[in-house]
Structure 1
């Protein structure tokens, strides 16, 4: 696991820089299980996590919710029986910021702790 999960998110506003193509390629190497997706022209990071049942999926959702609250950076969380889909992006810039990669790495670490 990279040191991304150890980094702190920085406050973002509408003028914050989006991740460049070069930065995207470099950062993706640190979170290889995530997929960059574009929805309505907005780049996002997405990963599906599998679980044995709904109760485990819900517990993971709540764990990610706590991590998100601590940084005031919130993902889309879709909780279903046996899986949770997590999508990170920075709303204020309509795209990807380094914060999203930090939070993706923390999400991975939360799953690894189970």
Structure 2
């Protein structure tokens, strides 16, 4: 399957489609602690990261924000005392694209 974190994002708009649930789950199996959830019927990838305090949680949030901004693909980030919830999905497609799994894998590079 390869390393998702090293894959290039697919930036083509033409033919972009969400992954079938089974394919998303198979790819997600290589990412520790990530879940496939549904919010208002829209599939999303989500993980909660724990930190010792708000300062560390905020620093992680800023790292992921910079990572997202660099590639123009942005997650939902909920920063709280001692934790950050990261949620990836392709808003324009209404579900999970392979790019979301790539970005989840890249997010893993920034933990701790």
Unaligned runs of 5+ in 1: none
1:28 aligns to what? 28
The question of 1:17 aligning with 2:17 is answered yes
Residues 12/80 of structure 1: CA separation in 2 closer, same or farther (3 Å cut): farther
Aligned to 1:40: 40
Between the aligned partners of 1:92 and 1:12, the Cα distance in structure 2 is 13
Q: Does 1:69 align with 2:53?
A: no
Name whichever structure is richer in helix by fraction: 1
- Find out whether 1:99 has 2:99 as its counterpart: yes
Report the CA distance between 1:7 and its aligned residue.
0.9
CA–CA distance in 1 between the matches of 2:36 and 2:23?
13
Alpha-carbon distance between aligned partners in 2 of 1:100 and 1:109, rounded to the nearest angstrom: 15
SS at match of 1:48: strand
Aligned partner of residue 95 in structure 2, secondary structure: coil
- Unpaired runs of at least 5, structure 2: none
Aligned position for 2:109? 109
2:50 paired residue number = 50
Instruction: Give, in angstroms, the shift of residue 29 of structure 1.
Output: 1.4
Return the alpha-carbon distance in structure 1 between the equivalents of residues 12 and 42 of structure 2.
Answer: 16
- For the aligned residue pairs, the C-alpha RMSD in angstroms reads 1.5
TM-score normalised by length of structure 2 = 0.92
Superposed, 1:81-96 pairs within 5 Å as 81-96=81-96
8 Å contact kept, 2:48–2:84: yes
Q: What SS does the aligned partner of 2:92 have?
A: helix
Alignment coverage as a number of residue pairs: 111
